[in-house]
Amino acid sequence: MAQGDGVSGRRGAAREIVVAGGGLPGLALALALRQALGEGVRVTVCDPAFGRKEPLRDLRAYAVAAAARRMLERLGIWDAVAAGAQPIREMVITDSRLADPVRPTFLTFEGEVAEGEPFAHMIEGGGLVAALREAAAAAGVVLEGSPVLAATPETDRIVARLPDGRQIRADLVVAADGARSRLREAAGIGWVGWSYPQSGIVATVAHERDHEGRAIEHFLPSGPFAVLPLPPGGSLGHRSSIVWTERQAEVPALLGGGPEEALMEVERRFGLGLGRIALESPLRAYPLSFGIARRFGAKRLLLLGDAAHVIHPIAGQGLNLGLRSAAALAEALADTMRLGLDPGGPEALETYERSRRFDTLAMGAATDGLNRLFSNDALPVRLARDFGLGLVDRLPGLKRMFIREAAGLRGRQPRLMRGEAL
């Protein structure tokens, strides 16, 4: 970055793109653009996390669908994280009340979309973020340890302002700065959404018995309780990640006691199928919401990840949706620049908006509908949904359709998610 007057501009004919936010979608976009266009594009990712001496550990675990895995493989990331990835070989769905002595299984999915290819892997976030950062830096992406405070569009450029007064004059700014995006609000882009009366609680649980790659989704009246397999380790030899949806009003009491009380509440929901359990990390809660931007861009500004859309975690598709958007945006920008067009012009925005709007709305509606359906204890609703689950379980063709949907392989996918080069 040029110093002097504090302004950086073009280097020769190279285009300049600034990504505000160093999460997984932002880093994936930056890496994809550098790999596709090389020195033809200069990409700077701005995030205060890059400036910390001891980066914050990402303790979350993500379900990476088959299409997202193909993208990571194409980007050269998969080999770096594969040893810490746990294939999901089977998905089991139950529906019961918390006090029920038996949790009947209504639906099971085999975990492969093709021979030897699981529909998803569980990967812990810390290793995935580290691998993407390292690959992005090696590809020539500039990792700037400051946030973008403001992005001011001009006729043929946009000026990204940093906290210390420096400015980056770019062709395009990509706002990947989270659900409460400062840049989205400053651009006047509307947001449609609502908060759920629920919180998500996450933790890593150790257990005695091998999960054998089985993921379990317990549907309870307060919301789903997911047990997601992780690679071996922990104090009892085996580990799983839990994603626990609970009524918001109940969370303070559930988390307000000591470790023993927390473990007891987890045990009530986790069950005894994997033997004795222990908490490997504290329970952490966060509010749940749905939201989508009214449009995915403004003048020389495009939205990515949570800045564009937030969905309920019931289907574990939040990260996959963000990576799919990153793949689509990388494709739109690379194709635009190869034609000699301006990446901050209307062509790239229109292509990106067209490719992502329907898919994002459909996924948001599906997760919202599933949450409302399964977080309902009314007897007629319970009978109807359990009948529906049982019906799907007896129809192999319909099950294959659902598993391919969960794997991100239905419909037209961006090239990266098909495992193809940009």
Higher pLDDT, 199 or 106: 199
pLDDT tens, residue by residue, 157-193: 999 999 999 999 999 999 999 999 999 999 999 999 9
What pLDDT sits at residue 395? 84
Coil vs helix vs strand at 20: strand
> What's the chain's average pLDDT?
92
Contacts of 287 (CB under 8 A, 6+ apart): 195, 196, 198, 199, 200, 248
Cite the beta strand spans of 275-372 per DSSP E.
277-279, 284-293, 297-298, 301-303, 309-310
Kindly list the structural domains of the chain, giving each domain's residue range(s) and its CATH number in brackets, ordered by start: 15-85+124-194+290-376+411-418 (3.50.50.60)
**Residue 311 in this model has a pLDDT that exceeds 70:** yes
Q: Would you state the pLDDT for residue 328? A: 97
pLDDT for res 7:
36
Residue 9 binned pLDDT confidence (cut-offs 50, 70, 90): very low
Scanning the structure block, which residue is given the tokens 């626990």?
244
Write the CA distances from 187 to 22, 153, 175, 190, 346, integer angstroms.
20, 10, 10, 9, 16
How many CB atoms are located within 10 Å of the residue 361 CB? Answer: 12
Question: Looking at the predicted structure, is the pLDDT value of residue 223 above 70?
Answer: yes
Instruction: Enter the tokens of residue 170.
Output: 């770019």
Give residues with Cβ within 8 angstroms of 169, minimum separation 6: 7, 8, 9, 16, 157, 158, 159
The conformational region for residue 247 under phi > 0 = left, psi -120 to 50 = alpha, else beta, is beta
Query: What is the arithmetic mean of pLDDT over 298-308?
Result: 97
Listed residue (20, 329, 6) closest to 167, CA to CA: 6
Distances (CA, A) of 142 to 29, 273, 325: 13, 48, 21
Residue 349 has pLDDT above 80, yes or no: yes
pLDDT value of position 57 = 65
Task: Output the pLDDT for position 361.
Answer: 93
- What angle is formed at CA 241 by the lines to CA 197 and CA 52, rounded to 5 degrees? 85
**Average of pLDDT values for 228-239?**
97
Q: Express each pLDDT in 319-328 by its tens digit.
A: 999 999 999 9
Q: What is the pLDDT of residue 401?
A: 83
pLDDT tier at 34 (50, 70, 90 boundaries)?
very high
Give the pLDDT confidence score for residue 340 in this predicted structure: 94
Given a cut of 50, whether residue 259 has pLDDT beyond it is: yes
Q: Which amino acid is at 332?
A: A
Confirm if 159 and 183 have CB atoms less than 8 A apart.
no
Asked if pLDDT for residue 5 goes beyond 50, the answer is no
- Closest to 41 (Cα-Cα) out of 419, 349, 344, 418: 344
